[in-house]
Amino acid sequence: MSKRWFAFLVCLLSILLFSSLAVADKNESIYEISGRVKLENMENMVNMQMSIVIHYFDPNNQLVGQYGMEYKQNTMDWVKLSGILNVPTNATTARIHFHMNSTGEHGKGTAYVDDTALVLVGI
C-alpha cells in the first residue's frame, strides 16, 4: 500500500496528518513503514520534531498497540524515515499519523511528506 501526501503549511504549534489502512489479521504480521519528509523555512520552531506514529486498532476500534519514530531538525533536504513494525495479534487497522510539534510561539514553515508506504514483509 502506498499513499502520496502533499505539502502543508505549518501555522500552528502542532500539526497532524493521518491515514488509516487495513492490516492483515494474521498472528503478529510484520510490516515495514517508510516515508520521506522535508522541512523548509522553519521559523520559531523551538524544540521542533517530526514524528511518524502508528496506532493499531482491533475490530471494535479499540487501541491495541502503537509504534513511533521521530526526526529532530529544523531545515533539511528529503530524509527517508523507516522502521519495522510487529503488528499486534488482534489488530485489523493501522492508523498512520504524521506529527510536527514545537514549543516556539508563532512557528511557521512548510513540511512535505511523500512516498509513504506500509508493506507486509512477513507473517
Q: Measured between alpha carbons, how far is 20 from 1 in angstroms, rounded to an integer? A: 11
Domain residues for the domain of 113 are 2-122
Segments in 43-118 forming alpha helices (H): none
Query: In the structure, what pLDDT confidence band is assigned to residue 62 with cuts at 50, 70 and 90?
Result: very high
Q: 38, 5 in Cβ contact below 8 A? A: no
CATH code, 6 = 2.60.120.260
For the beta carbon of residue 70, count every other beta carbon within 10 angstroms: 12
pLDDT value, residue 3: 44
Cα–Cα nearest to 116, from 76, 69, 86, 82: 82
What are the tens digits of pLDDT across the range 21-32? 677 655 667 888
pLDDT value, residue 19: 62
The strand pairing partners of 81, in sequence order, are 35
Q: How many domains, in total, are found in the chain?
A: 1
Average pLDDT over residues 59-72: 85
Share of the chain above pLDDT 90, in %: 4
Assigned C-alpha cell, 94? 493501522
Candidate ranges 11-25, 40-54, 77-91; pick with highest mean pLDDT: 77-91
* Cα angle: 26, vertex 32, 35; to 5 degrees: 140
For the beta carbon of residue 16, count every other beta carbon within 10 angstroms: 12
pLDDT value, residue 15: 46
pLDDT value, residue 60: 94
Q: Is the pLDDT of residue 87 over 80?
A: yes
